[in-house]
Chains A and B, each alone.
Chain A
Amino acid sequence: MKNLIYIILFVSSALSLFSCETKINPELESAVPVLVVDAWLTNKPGNQTIILTKTQPYFDSSTPPPVTGATVTVTDNSNKVFAFVEDLAKPGYYVWTPVGNELIGVVGTSYKLSIQTAGETYSAESRMGPTTAVDSITFKKNEPTQQNPDFYRGQFFAKDVLGKGDTYWIRTYKNGALLNKPNDINVAYDAGFDSGGSFFSRMGKSRDGLRDSAILVDFIPPIRGRINPSDKDANDKVLSPYLPGDSVYVEIHSITTPAFNYLQEVSIQTNRPGGFSELFARPIANVSTNMVNSNPNGKKALGFFNVAAVSGKGQKFIQK
């Protein structure tokens, strides 16, 4: 329902003449720091990294304090152990280096993350689901507006895997740099936004109504279009997401349903365009985690562990 926010932003522009926003610095309750696990592994070739940090006061804008000296391992369901070794040059970074063509990640395999730190043992599980291929990426010029005579948006096409309950995280690189702002978070539940929407590839009657065939559903347009960075220049002018000559690379990561929920929650909690969209915003609520302390009375941990299969496709924007 993200489109709703844009609609509301538009409709309220007339009234927004009266509204105003101020940066403030309210006093916050203090809290004991807790462990944050950032463990999003993929079957991409090369090193895999898990980052361990601690929470910090909300307005502390420094890099988060690293957690060092932890033991970090990932075990698959045939008991193969992947050891993550602390990178001494980068505190808090734990790296697994493949031997030869070794990969973490076979679709259908379950993985277990185990972390020992400060006398506590945390674990999390993730099963690698199937991903789907990026079929194509296209660019289109928007109708000219006064602000931007040249405004180009990209769109990718991909079809949901047959069956219900496949979840994906779409990650976009523009000219090699990952788009990583809260409003870049792009997740799909089957071909749609959420489980309630039930946009999914299924078996059904073919168009001529004569035989059963797979009806493969493309990701719905708001997901297809969410590969466009929204940035402003120094004069607060909205920049065109893409210009001729730019290149884009779109990856589709398969994620677990809990990981989908997690990312969707993160998106709701962090993507705050402000203004009148606040009328439709939700109050702050903690996002979920799949980290479990083996001691139920022990300290909590935050963050997420997911092992993804990844597909990807690149496209350079050449004006015809």
Chain B
Amino acid sequence: MQRLLLLLLATLSLCQLSAQSASKFTISGYIKDATNGEALIGATVYISEIQSGGVTNEYGFFSITLPSATYTVNMSYVGYATINKSVLLDKNIRIDIELQPEASQLQEVVVQAELEQANVQNLEMSTNKLEIRTIQKIPAFLGEVDIIKSLQLLPGVSTVGEGASGFNVRGGSVGQNLILLDEAPVYNSSHLLGFFSVFNPDAVKDVKLYKGGIPSRYGGRLSSLLDVRMKEGNSKKTEITGGIGTIFSRIAVEAPIIKDKASFIVALRRSYIDILARPFVKLLQDGGALNFYDITLKANYNINPKNRVYLSGYFGRDNFKFDRGQGFSWGNATGTLRWNHIFNDRLFSNFTAVYSNYDYSLQFGRDEKDSFKWNSLISNYILKPQFTYFINSNNELNFGAEAIYYNFEPANAVGVSNGVPTDVSIPKKYNLETSLYISNSQKITPAFSIDYGLRYSLFNSFGPDSTYTYSNELPGNKRLPVRAQYRKSGEVIATYGNFEPRVSFKVQATPTSSIKGSYNRMVQYLHLISNTTASNPLDVWNPSSENIKPQLGDQYTLGWFKDIGPTRQYELSLEVYWRYNQNQVDYINNADLLINRYLEGDLIAGEGRSYGLETYFQKKTGRLTGWVSYTLGRSELKVDGINFNPNDPLRKGNWFPTRFNQTHNLKIAAFYEINKRWSFSADFIYTSGTPATFPTSRAVVQGIVVPYNANESRGNVNLPDYHRLDISFRLEGKKQKNGKDRKNSDYWVFGLYNVYARENPFSIYFSQSDKRVLAGQPITSQATQLAIIGTIVPSVSYNFKF
């Protein structure tokens, strides 16, 4: 590891030397959308003379350093008119440019796995970028445009079914995805138990999913990074967008505060099924509630060409209330303050401060004499300075640091029974995760480039807290606390440090094809522990501690990327991945995860592995666009005490498939422009059934039929396959009224979800018949297959913009 570090430093100093030796100058600046002033992320800056260039970063900034000469600078972004500019580079030049969107809607590119010209420069692999315009076209459940549901149409991304929170990437668990909303971690991405995601599409600018080759500036989760960037708000004119749908309505207002200098966006969503149902449902009249809402806001101020600040926030909540006093609610809140500062033409920096909170609360009891109140939260404060040094046209250096302070409150709970209160709270936990990173993206020859970096992360847990030593038991048995120790405030309880090397390379085999590979090590200090069939809002986040080690994951990927067609309108990619995880936290059979002070005694750790092949074929232009994605994969765990041979006294675990293992995963998305006003979209999903555990036998004890699995196996059968077709039609509103162009634009979306009403199984459960049986009489046992969505679901929504 130290050698790697030395090598890195040596290379960097070499780059420095070469940069200083010639008389070189820098072209830098921002690229924005001319209609609304939004920064364009990943726009290409191409210098014809050197057949190379750069792409804009998350803030739309680029910088290229070249020897003094005259260059043709070509600035482009898919869906926008390209600008060519001749530049005499005899001094450092700042170019801030605004690109005009192309008029024709028919030329839209659907998903950019890679930009056409960025092929030359772009080192990234295993990433998918979804345009919000594409997301808006994908047929959606109840007609509600949804970012996470749309991601599930991409290769390597899956879900265990309708009603499950979150998503799975390359066989990783829901808790192994880092979801960032404007740099703030989001701990639960779902509304309404997973039917909708928390992101308001009207306020989102850019969605990028990293499934592998994760840059060293990110860390903290093993399997993926979902980077969601919010719109900055129109800095040219006031714009109002919104929609009225089946389940909820949305409205977003964006406007300049100072034209071209400062702007804001405020977006709101609220479900209204409870309002509509109130006249008919007595529960709702009595103070019951069933709703969710979210508010997204962002403002930015362009202080001067070198400084820009952004303030963004999100607040979302789900409320399920039984009556006035009883119910269940959960939500995320985030706030991000960012300051972009350009030290000089080549040194770009961003300083981020983040607050993020996820909490849920439950309340039962109709009166003060008998009640139960419980809330749980995870909150964190993050500071993150990041620097990009554009050394020359062949090297881009990224370095920075991150500090995250976590505050866990597993349970603040008080129960009152017949007037006697009992505090059953669990002590809070305090943790600090600090990291340093450095990476360089280097073009070694025009055809070979490499990105290498290193991240070092350090995790501490602090007192005050009571820590426990647990008894030694056979793996899989509950371990009991045998010794407790109280740690004072500020005392360091556990420390873990890890180096996380990241490498990726690209070989340009031919002008239209490339081979890319990557290796990355990821470390995860927080563990999402779920023992339910599907992930849900009550799942417990637990930090690493004396008894729980951090998870380590190593992923290797190799891929082949090919553009096909005279205008490169088709794209084909094949990627293989292999990941091996250590210290994956699992739970013993019958573990008790909620409000359990001795939770760690119910947890065990083991190994995980997942591997697979992703294929992706996309048609990017024309009246018919779309893609076909197929993933062949496997995801497994091996934990002592689970899935062991019943005759093995040591209970050594055997590999078993994870709950979200899917052998085959096929998705087809197609978009067809029928005429200027009508368009048609369809998606089809076919996946292998996910594993489930079935009993072999039954035992009758005290007149109750208890299922028994004689082979002690987990995931011993697969549920039936899942497949579903969704379609939607979109009708654009008239562009003209009384012969004049309308100022407003609007469209209708008519959708059908699950067109052929397949009853896709979510789970199969085993139970005895509900009938009462006299003692000693035979009892019937049965299996029931549950489809969460077992019918065709029609929807209609109206969307507007003015």
Contact = CB atoms under 8 A, between A and B. Distances in A.
Interface of A: 1, 3-4, 7-8, 10-12, 14-15, 17-26, 28-34, 36, 38, 40, 53, 55-64, 90, 145-146, 157, 177-178, 180-182, 185, 191-192, 194-200, 215-222, 229, 231-232, 261, 264-266, 268-270, 272, 274-276, 278-288, 296-297, 300, 302-304
A36 B701 contact: yes
B43 interface: no
A7 B420 contact: no
A15 B362 CA distance: 21
Interface stretch (B200-208, B448-456, B489-497, B707-715): B707-715
A279 B531 contact: no
B783 A31 contact: no
Contact of B694 (A28, A32, A215, A219): A28
Of the candidates A90, A180, A276, the one having the most CB atoms from chain B within 10 angstroms of its own CB is A180
Contacts of A24: 764, 783-785
Contact of A283 (B195, B283, B533, B536): B533
Nearest to B705: A270
A280 B532 contact: yes
A191 B417 contact: yes
A68 to B, nearest CB: 16
7 contacts: A24-B785, A38-B702, A57-B696, A232-B770, A269-B706, A283-B692, A287-B590
Interface in B273-303: 273, 277, 282-283, 290
B699 interface: yes
Contacts of B283: 10
Interface string B405-448: 00000000001011010101010000000000000000000000
B744 interface: no
A287 B763 CA distance: 20
Contacts of B327: 7
Given A19-B787, A279-B536, A302-B708, A284 B766 contact: yes
B162 to A, nearest CB: 9
A181 B770 contact: yes
Of the candidates B192, B478, B772, B790, the one having the most CB atoms from chain A within 10 angstroms of its own CB is B772
Interface of B: 163-164, 192-195, 273, 277, 282-283, 290, 320, 322, 326-328, 362, 364-365, 370, 372, 415, 417-418, 420, 422, 424, 426, 478, 531-534, 536, 538, 589-590, 592, 594-599, 646-647, 649, 659, 692-712, 714, 716-717, 759, 762-768, 770, 772-773, 775-791, 793
Given A32-B710, A278-B765, A302 B699 contact: yes
B282 A55 contact: no
3 pairs of A and B residues whose beta carbons are closest in the complex: A20-B790, A196-B596, A31-B710
Given A12-B193, A192-B424, A272 B765 contact: yes
Given A24-B764, A196-B595, A304-B701, A286 B778 contact: no
Contacts of B712: 286
Contacts of B705: 270
Contacts of B164: 279
A65 to B, nearest CB: 10
Contacts of B709: 284-286
A220 B369 CA distance: 11
Nearest to B161: A279
Contact of A261 (B195, B590, B759, B789): B590
Given A11-B320, A275-B786, A157 B418 contact: yes
Nearest to B793: A18
Nearest to A265: B590
Given A63-B776, A180-B704, A192-B415, A26 B420 contact: no
A272 B767 contact: yes
A282 B778 contact: no
Contacts of A28: 694-696
Contacts of A64: 698-700
Of the candidates B283, B420, B538, B781, the one having the most CB atoms from chain A within 10 angstroms of its own CB is B420
A29 B696 contact: yes
Contact of B699 (A18, A261, A280, A303): A303
B641 to A, nearest CB: 12
A180 to B, nearest CB: 5
Given A61-B781, A180-B775, A274 B195 contact: no
A217 B423 CA distance: 12
Contact of B290 (A11, A30, A177, A218): A11
A300 B646 contact: yes
B697 A270 contact: no
A180 B702 contact: yes
A100 B426 CA distance: 52
A39 to B, nearest CB: 9
Contact of A297 (B534, B647, B716, B773): B647
Contacts of A302: 699, 701, 706, 708
Contacts of B192: 15
B765 A281 contact: yes
Contact of B762 (A180, A200, A222, A278): A278
A115 to B, nearest CB: 15
B290 A296 contact: no
A283 B770 contact: no
Contacts of B531: 282-283
Nearest to A174: B772
Contact of B777 (A63, A268, A287): A63
Contacts of A229: 772
A52 B784 CA distance: 29
B693 A285 contact: yes
Contacts of B273: 14
A58 B781 contact: yes
A56 B765 contact: no
A26 B717 contact: yes
A150 B559 CA distance: 68
A40 B777 CA distance: 19
A141 to B, nearest CB: 14
Contacts of A181: 704, 768, 770, 772
Nearest to B195: A15
A83 B180 CA distance: 67
Nearest to A268: B590
A219 B328 contact: no
A95 to B, nearest CB: 14
Contact of B328 (A7, A17, A63): A7
Contacts of B647: 297
Contacts of A12: 193
